[in-house]
C-alpha cells in the first residue's frame, strides 16, 4: 500500500520531540549566484546526521511492542544503518545491520557506536536482502528496508512537510534520489500541500537508473554505480517509491562527482555547513538550471552530513588530484 499524506501526518506525530525539526537556512550569496530564492532544509543537522532518522524512528515506533521487542534488522551503505540503530536504541530493542565491506568507516563506526550488531557483505557479489532475511528469521526480528516500506516513506515525507509549513509556497523542490524513499515521501507531502510545486529528483550521473526507470515506465536495474555520493549508490528504485514517482511524473536530473565536490565547497565556505556528497545533489542540479529558476522560490533538501572529516578535507581541497 502506498502511503498517503495522512500517513505523513501520523509519522509527524510519532517523531515529534524525538527527531529535530531542522532549520531552514538561506544564503544571500547563493541566491545571487543562482538568481533564485533558495530555502535549504538542513537534514545534515538531523539526529544521526541524516533525514533517514525520520523514517527509521517512524517505522520502529509503528511496530507492535511485542514484535519490536524481538529486534530489527536492516541493510544499508551507512545512513539508514545509523538511523535504524539509533531508533532501535531509543526504543530499547536490538538492531542487526548488514553493511557493505566498502561502506565509509565513519558510518560503520557510528552504527556500531549506537550499539547495533554489524554483519559485513560484498556489495558487488552478495545479496544483502537475502542475508538480512536470513538473520531476521534466526532472531524472530523484523526487517526494515531503507526505502521500500510505507512507514519509511511516510517518515521521510515529514521533512518536506516541515519545509512547506515553514516557508510557504515553493515553485520547485529539489531532492536527492537513491532508492527513492526520500523523494517519494517528499512527493506525497508536496502534492498534498502545494500541488503546483514542480518536483525534481536528482541522482548521481554515474547511476541514473531512476531517470531511466521513469522514462521507460518500468524499474531499470544498473550495475552498482561508482560515485562519491555513497548515499545514492543504489542500483534501482524500490517498487513502492517507483509506484509513487511513476504516478507523479517528476523531472529526474543528474549531477557529476565534480559538481558535487564544487557544491560541498560552496556550502562549507558560504553557509559554514558540512554536507556529504549525496546531500549536495539538489543544489548541484539547481546550479545547472539556474537560468530557468530565476526569481523563483526553490526548496532544496540537504539530505545528510555524514562524511569523514579527513575525506571531506580531501574532497574540498582544490589542489587534490585524486578524489576516490
Ligand atoms: C539515503 C540517502 C539519500 C537517498 O535517499 P533514498 O531514500 O534512498 O532515495 C540521499 N541523501 C543521503 C544523505 C542519504 O543518506
178 lines ligand 1 (CB under 6 A): yes
- Catalytic: which of 27, 76, 77, 213? 77
C-alpha cell at position 30:
547563493
Are 191 and 78 in a shared domain? no
Which residue from 230, 278, 312 has its CB within 8 A of the most atoms of ligand 1, so it is best to mutate? 278
Are 21 and 78 in a shared domain? no
Are 168 and 271 in a shared domain? yes
**Residue 135 in this model has a pLDDT that exceeds 80:** yes
| pLDDT-derived band at 1, boundaries 50, 70, 90 | confident
170/44 Cα distance (integer angstroms): 21
CA-44 nearest atom, ligand 1: 13
**Residue 3 in this model has a pLDDT that exceeds 80:** yes
pLDDT of residue 6: 98
Ligand 1 center–CA 232 separation, angstroms: 6
Measure Cα distances from 210 to 19, 61, 187, 317 in Å.
28, 29, 15, 31
Q: Is residue 184 part of a domain?
A: yes
- Catalytic: which of 52, 162, 257, 279? 52
Q: Is residue 127 part of a domain?
A: yes
Residue pair 320/61 in contact (Cβ under 8 Å)? The answer is no
pLDDT of residue 315: 95
Task: Find the domain containing 300 and state its range.
Answer: 5-50+150-316
Residue pair 241/183 in contact (Cβ under 8 Å)? The answer is yes
Are 192 and 229 in a shared domain? yes
Are 139 and 229 in a shared domain? no
C-alpha cell at position 324:
576516490
2/165 Cα distance (integer angstroms): 23
Mean pLDDT, residues 158-180: 98
- The 3-state DSSP composition of the chain as helix, strand, coil percent (nearest 5) reads 50, 15, 35
Q: Is residue 233 part of a domain?
A: yes
Domain count, the chain: 2
Which range among 75-79, 84-88, 94-98 shows the weakest confidence by mean pLDDT? 75-79
278 lines ligand 1 (CB under 6 A): yes
The reply to whether the predicted model has a pTM over 0.75 is yes
Measured in whole angstroms, the distance separating CA 71 from the mean position of its chain's CA atoms is: 23
**Residue 77 in this model has a pLDDT that exceeds 80:** no
C-alpha cell at position 60:
520502529
**What pLDDT digit, counting tens, does each position of 141-168 carry?**
999 999 999 999 999 999 999 999 999 9
pLDDT greater at residue 250 or residue 319: 250
- Catalytic: which of 55, 207, 279, 299? 207
Residue nearest atom 4 in ligand 1 by C-alpha distance: 178
Ligand 1 center–CA 42 separation, angstroms: 14
**Residue 321 in this model has a pLDDT that exceeds 70:** no
Are 136 and 156 in a shared domain? no
Q: Is residue 89 part of a domain?
A: yes
Amino acid at each position: 500500500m502506498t502511503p498517503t499524506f495522512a500517513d505523513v501526518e501520523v509519522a509527524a506525530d510519532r517523531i515529534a520531540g524525538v527527531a529535530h525539526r531542522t532549520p531552514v537556512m538561506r544564503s544571500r550569496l547563493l541566491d545571487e549566484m543562482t538568481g533564485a530564492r533558495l530555502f535549504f532544509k538542513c537534514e545534515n543537522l538531523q539526529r544521526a546526521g541524516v533525514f533517514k532518522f525520520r523514517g527509521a524512528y517512524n517505522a520502529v515506533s509503528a511496530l507492535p511492542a511485542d514484535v519490536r521487542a524481538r529486534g530489527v534488522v536492516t541493510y544499508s551503505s551507512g545512513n539508514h544503518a545509523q538511523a535504524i540503530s539509533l531508533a532501535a536504541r531509543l526504543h530499547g530493542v536490538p538492531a542487526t545491520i548488514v553493511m557493505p565491506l566498502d561502506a565509509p568507516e565513519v558510518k560503520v563506526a557510528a552504527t556500531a557506536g549506537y550499539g547495533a550488531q554489524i554483519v559485513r557483505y560484498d556489495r558487488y557479489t552478495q545479496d544483502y536482502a537475502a542475508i538480512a532475511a536470513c538473520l531476521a528469521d534466526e532472531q524472530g526480528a523484523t526487517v526494515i528496508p531503507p526505502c521500500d516500506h510505507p512507514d519509511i516513506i511516510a517518515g521521510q515525507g515529514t521533512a518536506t512537510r516541515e519545509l512547506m509549513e515553514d516557508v510557504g509556497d515553493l515553485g520547485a523542490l529539489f531532492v536527492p534520489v537513491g532508492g527513492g524513499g526520500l523523494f517519494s515521501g517528499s512527493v506525497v507531502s508536496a502534492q498534498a500541500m502545494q500541488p503546483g510545486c514542480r518536483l525534481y529528483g536528482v541522482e548521481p550521473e554515474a547511476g541514473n537508473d531512476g531517470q531511466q526507470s521513469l522514462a521507460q515506465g518500468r524499474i531499470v536495474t544498473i550495475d552498482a554505480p561508482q560515485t562519491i555520493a555513497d548515499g545514492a549508490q543504489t542500483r534501482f528504485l524500490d517498487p513502492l517509491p517507483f509506484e509513487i514517482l511513476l504516478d507523479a511524473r517528476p523531472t529526474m536530473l543528474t549531477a557529476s562527482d565534480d559538481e558535487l565536490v564544487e557544491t560541498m565547497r560552496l556550502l562549507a565556505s558560504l553557509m559554514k555547513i558540512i554536507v556529504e556528497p549525496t546531500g549536495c545533489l539538489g543544489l548541484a542540479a539547481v546550479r545547472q538550471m539556474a537560468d530557468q529558476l530565476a526569481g523563483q522560490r526553490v526548496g532544496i533538501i540537504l539530505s545528510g552530513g555524514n562524511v569523514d572529516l579527513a575525506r571531506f578535507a580531501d574532497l574540498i581541497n582544490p589542489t587534490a588530484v585524486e578524489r576516490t
